[in-house]
Amino acid sequence: MKMNRIFKYLLFPLAVFSNSGAFAQSKDLVNEENKLIGIHNQINSRPNLSVGSRYDTLAFNHDSIEYFVAALDREFTSLITGNPKTIDYPFDKLVDSHICKITTSVDGNMRVYNLDSWLLLTEIYQWKGSGKVFTKVSRYQKDSTGLCREIFAVPVKGKRYYLPVTSTIIWPSHAMQSVAAWRINGSNLEAVTLFKNRVEKLNHIDVPFSFYNFAPKIKDSLLSFISYDDVQKKIYIPCVNDKGVFTQRYFIYELKNDCLEFTNTGLHH
C-alpha cells in the first residue's frame, strides 16, 4: 500500500545514522555558541533573500548565503559530535534565535537537536552510555522535515527506555506523528518492541494525519499530540477520523509487565 511505503520512508531518518566519532577536546561552549550566532548573523545580513528561500538554488562563493548556511551546518554538527559537554549545555542563544530546537529527556541522558534554520534538515541524537557521550547524525530528505517534540523516559522492570515523539512532514501531502522506543546500550541505540496492540508488538507507533488540520475552524487540530502520563504509566495516541482530522479520543496504552499494552480508547485525563 502506498501510504505504508511512505511511512517506512518517514522512519528512515531514525533508522540510518552516521557512525559516532571520537570526541575532541572540550572547548569553551559559550564562545562556540557565539560563533554559531555570528555565522547565522552573516546569513541574515545577506540582502535580497527571504527566510523561506531555498539556499541551495544560489550561487556558491565565499560571500554567498549558501556558503554561510553550509558553514552553520558543518560547525554545529562538528560541535555536537565533537564535544561531550554539549549534552548538558542549554544553548539558549541558539534556541532563542530559532536556529535549532533541542529536546532533552527528564533525566538528561538523551537529547535530540533539530537544526532547521534556513531549511537545513539535520537531526542529531545524543546520549550518555557507559560513562561516555555518543552521537548519531541523520538528515531528512529534500521536501521532508521532522521535529522531535518530546522524549519520554519510561522505567520498565529496572530498565529505562526512551521514547522520542516526532512530527514528520513530506510535502506536499503527507504528515505524521510517531513515537519510537529506544534502549541505550553503550555506544548504540537499540530499538525495543515496547508497544503491544491486539495483534503484535511494535517498536514504534505512527499516526498519519491530514493537512486539513491546518484549515480554519478546525478545533481539534495540531494541539493533539502523543503524550505520556508518568504517574499512571499510560501513553495516549491521538485518534484521527477518516479524513485524517484529530478527534477528542485517544488510543490508550498502559504499562503492564514488560510493555506498554493497548487497553482501550477514551479521553485524555
101-134 pLDDT per residue, tens: 999 999 999 999 999 777 788 999 999 999 999 9
Burial of 93 (0-12, 13-18, 19+ CB in 10 A): middle
Q: Which contacts (CB < 8 Å, 24+ apart) does range 199-202 have?
A: 201/259
Report, as ranges of residue numbers, the positions in the chain whose pLDDT lies below 50.
1-27, 50-60, 220-222
Query: Shortest CA distance to 132 belongs to which of 63, 196, 84?
Result: 84
Please give the biggest Cα pair distance in the chain: 59
pLDDT in tens, 182-220: 999 999 999 999 999 999 999 999 999 887 776 666 554
Distance separating alpha carbons of residues 42 and 65, to the nearest angstrom? 8
The residues facing 240 across adjacent strands are 246
Neighbours of 186 (CB within 10 A): 12
pLDDT at 61: 56
Q: How far from the centroid of its chain's Cα atoms is residue 22's Cα?
A: 23
Query: How many domains would you assign to the chain?
Result: 1
The x, y and z cell numbers of residue 239, run together, are: 485518534
Contact 217, 225 (CB under 8 A): no
Q: Which residue range forms the structural domain that includes residue 107?
A: 2-266
Distance separating alpha carbons of residues 163 and 262, to the nearest angstrom? 16
Q: What is the pTM of this model?
A: 0.82
